[in-house]
């Protein structure tokens, strides 16, 4: 074949392939490992194994024992040193349980059974100078808005809230803000920290004097599907806590003018009408396929959803039957409403621990809410300008129906207990039982001023006034831990994200007229598709 040359004879590398016993014995010592080649091979393997051990075992140990705290005197990252020439140190800590919470309070006996409950959230507010502007804190966020729902006279401004000398400080000042006479503060854990069931306690020094009317300090909780101060999110959601399909889900609690009990003996300021509520937006009557966060019952009905409210306290001056003294109102808000706002209070459903300092609130409700409330005398020295001491307030609750309750704590003592049976079905207005709130609740703290809450003694109030919070802690039964704002049985995240503008634009006051969203169809009055 052209271009191919055959070669018949020895090739240059033939010697490499020919066995030579003399040569081979000289090189590998007849197969023993103690030869030059064997030692070299073992040495290579030793180096490889030593490198692997150093990489996966030695390096972490060396790093741990030789690392130094990072410097805050200059940091290099994308773009170089930051604007101040330093690495920022984030104050406080980011865990659900504050590292400053003492060990001896991380387990607590519950107020009704004495069982040991464990701490699931705490904030000791020990780091001074904290900011609660949006994005500055992992769990709390202050709002920048007018709380028009209760005709407040102040503008809520994040600058009014900080930490100082180991406590949270919310200031109400006589400073004009957005054409309002006063500047106050409100912050919450909305959509950041929520809990379902358990015990929440807080140590508070109330603002002002113990005998001067007008300030409105409060710490309270609300269901995560409504954001305090954002009207569109609350429209047809607050103060409902309801999971039945009947007239209680409808506007004004009536259908074709019935039942009669919902049209008389109600709010005397509105002709005796019982309710002006627009109807529960996310009710058990919601038609299939309508916008609803779920979940559903076994029969296919949606679970009734809402934004219920439980108040740790609202401070006031005066207790019915006791006198004009410093006090706190501790309440649950409910919807739909009992006939004439009269819930079923009896020795089986109501317990007041000490009737010399606590009394049923004479206010039972109006066209926009029903309240179960007891007012308790406070420590007269637990005020900013009257003693400067702290007092502990809180509530403990079990959500749902059977065995459910809410128990309130004032002055570090059990004040009163409401059992769910007190909110049983009311045939007078044809509504079903209302559960103790089952929604994931978030915490709110605020200091404002409003004539809606009572007379304001402008001549004797002293400004600035400050509510101080030493700590706030949440406990739960270790066998029933339920924290988070989006639990599987009461989800909120997808619904909030779908309608996020209602939760972030405080100028939207109503769901339909302002936000332009349709109200889900209710099968009692609408034709389901």
Distance (Å, whole) CA 525 – CA 245: 11
> Do residues 474 and 121 make contact, with C-beta atoms less than 8 angstroms apart?
yes
Rounded (10°) CA dihedral 397, 399, 402, 407:
20
**What integer pLDDT is reported at residue 514 of this predicted model?**
97
**What integer pLDDT is reported at residue 232 of this predicted model?**
98
Q: Which two tokens stand for residue 458?
A: 């402008």
Going through 232-322 in order, the beta strands assigned E by DSSP cover 309-319
Give the single-character DSSP code of 463: S
Reported as type and span, the H/E element at residue 502 is helix 500-504
Cβ neighbour number for residue 455 with a 10 Å cutoff: 10
Cβ neighbour number for residue 399 with a 10 Å cutoff: 22
Q: What is the 3-state secondary structure (H, E, C) of 59-85?
A: HHHHHHHHCCCCCCCCCCECCECCCCC
* pLDDT < 50 stretches in the chain: 1-4, 70-90
**What integer pLDDT is reported at residue 121 of this predicted model?**
98
**What integer pLDDT is reported at residue 265 of this predicted model?**
96
| Whole-number Cα distances in Å, 132 to 164, 262, 435 | 13, 43, 33
Q: Strands 365-366, 309-319: parallel, antiparallel or unpaired by DSSP?
A: unpaired
**What integer pLDDT is reported at residue 10 of this predicted model?**
66
Residue 474, strand partner residues: 121, 200
Q: In the block, which residue shows the tokens 């103060």?
A: 239
| Whole-number Cα distances in Å, 482 to 120, 200, 343, 405 | 9, 13, 29, 17
Q: In the block, which residue shows the tokens 């019982």?
A: 274
**What integer pLDDT is reported at residue 13 of this predicted model?**
62
Reported as type and span, the H/E element at residue 333 is strand 323-334
**What integer pLDDT is reported at residue 411 of this predicted model?**
97
Distance (Å, whole) CA 57 – CA 418: 60
**What integer pLDDT is reported at residue 280 of this predicted model?**
98
Distance (Å, whole) CA 358 – CA 354: 6
Q: Name which of 259, 297, 303 is nearest 280 in CA terms.
A: 303
Cβ neighbour number for residue 68 with a 10 Å cutoff: 5
Tell me the DSSP string of 359-394: EE-S--EETTEEEEEEEEEPPTT-BTTBB---EEEE
**What integer pLDDT is reported at residue 26 of this predicted model?**
62
Q: Tell me: the pLDDT tens digits for 18-44?
A: 666 666 666 555 556 566 667 777 778
> Do residues 220 and 187 make contact, with C-beta atoms less than 8 angstroms apart?
no
**What integer pLDDT is reported at residue 276 of this predicted model?**
98
Degrees, nearest 5: CA angle 496-498-503: 45
């Amino acid at each position: 074949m052209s271009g191919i040359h055959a070669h018949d004879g020895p090739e240059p590398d033939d010697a490499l392939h020919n066995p030579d016993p003399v040569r081979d014995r000289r090189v590998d010592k007849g197969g023993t490992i103690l030869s030059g080649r064997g030692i070299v091979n073992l040495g290579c393997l030793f180096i490889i194994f030593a490198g692997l051990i150093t990489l996966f075992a030695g390096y972490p140990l060396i790093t741990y024992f030789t690392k130094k705290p990072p410097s805050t005197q200059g940091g290099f990252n994308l773009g170089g040193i930051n604007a101040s020439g330093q690495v920022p140190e984030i104050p406080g800590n980011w865990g659900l349980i504050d590292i400053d919470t003492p060990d001896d309070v991380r387990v607590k006996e519950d107020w009704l059974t004495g069982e040991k409950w464990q701490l699931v959230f705490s904030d000791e507010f020990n780091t001074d100078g904290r900011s609660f502007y949006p994005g500055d804190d992992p769990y709390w966020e202050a709002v920048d808005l007018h709380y028009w729902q209760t005709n407040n006279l102040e503008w809520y401004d994040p600058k009014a809230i900080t930490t100082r000398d180991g406590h949270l400080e919310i200031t109400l000042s006589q400073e004009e803000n957005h054409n309002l006479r006063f500047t106050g503060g409100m912050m919450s854990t909305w959509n950041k920290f929520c809990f379902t069931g358990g015990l929440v306690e807080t140590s508070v020094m109330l603002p002002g004097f113990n005998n001067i009317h007008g300030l409105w300090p409060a710490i309270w909780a609300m269901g995560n599907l409504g954001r305090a101060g954002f009207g569109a999110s609350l429209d047809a959601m607050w103060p409902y806590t309801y999971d039945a399909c009947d007239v209680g889900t409808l506007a004004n609690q009536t259908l074709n003018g019935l039942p009669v009990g919902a049209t008389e003996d109600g709010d005397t300021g509105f002709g005796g009408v019982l309710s002006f509520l627009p109807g529960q937006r996310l009710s058990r009557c919601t038609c299939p396929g309508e916008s609803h966060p779920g979940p559903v019952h076994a029969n296919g009905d949606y679970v009734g959803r809402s934004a219920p409210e439980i108040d740790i306290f609202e401070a006031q001056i005066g207790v019915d039957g006791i006198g004009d003294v410093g006090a706190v109102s501790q309440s649950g808000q409910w919807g739909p409403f009992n006939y004439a706002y009269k819930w079923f209070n009896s020795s089986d459903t109501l317990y007041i621990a000490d009737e010399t300092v606590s009394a049923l609130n004479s206010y039972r409700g109006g066209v926009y809410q029903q309240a179960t409330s007891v007012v308790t005398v406070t420590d007269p020295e637990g005020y900013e300008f009257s003693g400067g001491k702290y007092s502990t307030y809180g509530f403990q609750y079990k959500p749902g129906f059977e065995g459910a309750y809410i128990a309130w704590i004032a002055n570090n003592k059990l004040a009163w207990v409401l059992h769910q049976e007190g909110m049983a079905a009311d045939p007078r207005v044809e509504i079903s039982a209302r559960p103790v709130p089952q929604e994931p609740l978030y915490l709110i703290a605020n200091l404002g001023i409003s004539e809606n809450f009572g007379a304001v003694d402008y001549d004797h109030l002293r400004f600035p006034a400050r509510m101080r919070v030493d700590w706030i802690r949440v406990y739960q039964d270790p066998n029933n831990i339920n924290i988070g704002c989006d639990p599987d049985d009461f989800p909120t995240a997808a619904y909030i994200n779908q309608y996020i503008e209602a939760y972030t634009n405080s100028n939207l006051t109503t769901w339909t007229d302002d936000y332009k969203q349709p109200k889900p169809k209710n099968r009692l009055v609408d034709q389901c598709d």
